Structure 1
Amino acid sequence: MTTAVPRTEVGPLLRSWRERRRVSQLELALRADSSARHISFVETGRSRPSEEMVLRLAEHLDVPVRERNALLLAAGYAPRYAETPVDAPALGALREGIDQLLTGYEPYPALVVDGTYTVVAANRGITMMLDEVPAHLLAPPLNAMRLTLHPEGLAPRIRNLPEWRGHLLEQMERQIALSRSAALRALYEEVAAYPLPATAEGTGEVGGEEPRDERPYPYFALPLRIEYDGRVLSFVSSISTFNTPLDVTVAELAIETFLPADPETVAYLRTLSA
């Protein structure tokens, strides 16, 4: 039997997440060991879900950890997940592990960003790319998207800027759709409005570079092709997150590593390592 309770905000929020995930009430009920009738009552405010039910539904809807706290608050419960500052003593082991990982990846570039692309840590492979970036873009808090797409940042040196810019903006659009972050939306609107360098406007290449299909070897993923030290280095990126995080800060951290995409880049980075 379902008990009627005063309408709360959690029902519409859960319905929004379910519709965003394109899951029917019946499918969600089967996943969460409930009934479609109960899911309907929760969404319309006729039934107040238990704390356990809110967390179970959030898990099956793959709701981000930060938004799970919001669901709990809307249902009248205390937040379950802490948001620990990344420099807090409690995350000391995490920071040490990240530093070891980034150092071990050198001379290849790698960095860690939070949910709004603020740089938490970076290795020397990344910092070597920033030699010509003006000081105002390097002032804390350092933001990876601003550094990459700002017309005074790395953008003028990226040989395939239109393609790489499109990739980054699409990545941000997917994250905004998942997290509904106002801060991330503001960052997206800022960097999407940056003008392209004159050499990149209306072309697929910057600086007259030959088309990729004329190169002697194919790329296995969209590369970042960037000028450095009088040559063009090519990288493909990989992003890793932490498995089953129980802290909002940790849940939003992402480790991005850049793998050399061609033999010339491998050879050059090996000379740096030597």
Structure 2
Amino acid sequence: MNNSKPIIMPALCCLLALLAGCAREGALVISEKDMPPPEALYERIGADPAPGAVLTGILRVTASLPGERHSFKIAAAARRPDSLRLEDLSVIGVPDFMLTVKGDEIRMFLPRSGEFLIGTESSEIVRRILPPPLRPLDLVSLLYGQPPGVDGARSLRGSVDGDRFRLDVFAGGAWAQSLWVDPASGRMTRLETADRNGKAAYSASFHDFKKAGPGAVPGRIEIETSGPATVRLSLRNPEPELVTRDDDADFFRLRPPEGVTPRHSR
């Protein structure tokens, strides 16, 4: 029995070396010549598979702030390019908030206080819900696993970064976004975006893609803001659906309850 050890150990080492060699051979190797034209790749990852359809789901959200951590659920609905509805799903009692975005206008109802607020992305009401670098319309794109739109004349630069295609997006000559795309699936797996001053605003990574209508959307999104007071958001959408909704013209434009006077927020 003791004599078998010298035989087993070399054999085990050979087996491990063989498995390691197979793993290296199976890894995806790409080069600059594999990179598609940047404009074509950008259009592909931003394509709308079902124009006019609404992406819905119950988001399981974990928010990690300096010294704090909160978990909650939100009923979400998003329609490209500029419509969003979020409703807090409190375990007990009335919801904390209901919010809609339609273009530049944001409406929010706070059932506990009875306030109905109307504003824009720069209004104080938005900061109650989303960390400052993350704009409401950004969230529409992120839920679809797509890059948010950029303002100004756009230019693109493509390259290969490890096992990913990389797109650097410039607006008005300034860096606006960097996108990483999986060559095998054609899906965006990571995003870094700039604020209005050209500094890093936040990053997002996309995981666990799930079937939704004719396409697929991320089942998990990890968002991290830049700067000293980092905020991390984990959004899980385990059962996304892409549906046609034409039964409520005001679904993305919240109406004040009877007897409640809207207040405009700056």
TM bucket normalised to smaller: under 0.3
- Normalised to the residue count of structure 2, the TM-score between the two structures is 0.24
| Bigger share in strand | 2
